[in-house]
A and B are shown apart, each in its own frame.
Chain A
Amino acid sequence: QVQLQESGPGLVKPSETLSLTCTVSGYSISSGYYWGWIRQPPGKGLEWIGSIYHSGSTYYNPSLKSRVTISVDTSKNQFSLKLSSVTAADTAVYYCARIAVAGTSYYFDYWGQGTLVTVSS
């Protein structure tokens, strides 16, 4: 059974960098699939942040691209998110997910439970 678990600080100060890690169990990241981050501000909808392939190729939401870095560590079966220069607008529940891709078929088939990150001084 594929499982994903987010970890990282729940409180980040404005202008600092948000850092989260997703640990995958039940499947080896290096075996394939894309892996991604999605966020959900309180009471709002879902926003894709970015995705990474096991080879390290990355794809970012254009609206966040200048502030986002996603990386993968296949030795630890983890991938990570860094979001710089955060503001209160970045307060959200952050989810990691596995992404099934076949041509233009693209869907999130396994999700972590999510972690709330609050940006506040």
Chain B
Amino acid sequence: DIQMTQSPSSLSASVGDRVTITCQASQDISNYLNWYQQKPGKAPKLLIYDASNLETGVPSRFSGSGSGTDFTFTISSLQPEDIATYYCQHLLTFGGGTKVEIK
């Protein structure tokens, strides 16, 4: 089974900061990696699919990159409404999540 390792597990940043989360696959998964945002008490929301494609309606400050085993999710300028837990996903496996908080 392919394992997805996400880091960090949590981070604290200031409004306006650039935030980066990484996800590493245990074997080559090409570009088949997706990113979700989950706000407290809400369902996850798809942000990025196939590593770098922005889902319709998602703000452009969110982006994704990578291929093979190493992937990056970036928020270019952190906003208060971005406080959430972010998950990567490949096929039927989710990463452990990254909780993003405001410093």
- Report which A residues bind B (CB closer than 8 A): 45-48, 51, 59, 61, 95, 100, 104-109, 111-114
Contacts and interface: CB of A to CB of B under 8 A. Distances in A.
18 contacts: A45-B87, A46-B87, A46-B94, A48-B94, A61-B92, A104-B29, A106-B32, A106-B92, A107-B34, A107-B49, A107-B50, A107-B89, A108-B36, A108-B89, A111-B45, A112-B43, A114-B42, A114-B43
Interface in B19-56: 29-30, 32, 34, 36, 42-46, 49-50, 55
Contacts of A45: 87, 94-97
Given A48-B93, A105-B49, 5 more contacts: A45-B95, A100-B49, A108-B34, A108-B44, A109-B49
A109 B55 contact: yes
Interface of B: 29-30, 32, 34, 36, 42-46, 49-50, 55, 87, 89-97
Contacts of A107: 34, 46, 49-50, 89
Contacts of A112: 43
A112 B42 CA distance: 9
Contacts of A48: 92-94
B91 A104 contact: yes
Given A45-B87, A45-B94, A61-B92, A104 B44 contact: no
B68 to A, nearest CB: 14
Given A45-B94, A61-B92, A104-B32, A111 B55 contact: no
Contact of A111 (B34, B43, B91): B43
B94 A106 contact: no
Contacts of B50: 105, 107
Contacts of A114: 42-43
Of A100, A108, A109, A112, most B-chain CB atoms within 10 Å: A108
Nearest to B56: A109
A108 B92 contact: no
Task: Determine which residue in B46, B55, B96 has the highest number of CB atoms from chain A within 10 A of its CB, and name it.
Answer: B46
Given A95-B43, A111-B44, A112-B43, A106 B97 contact: no
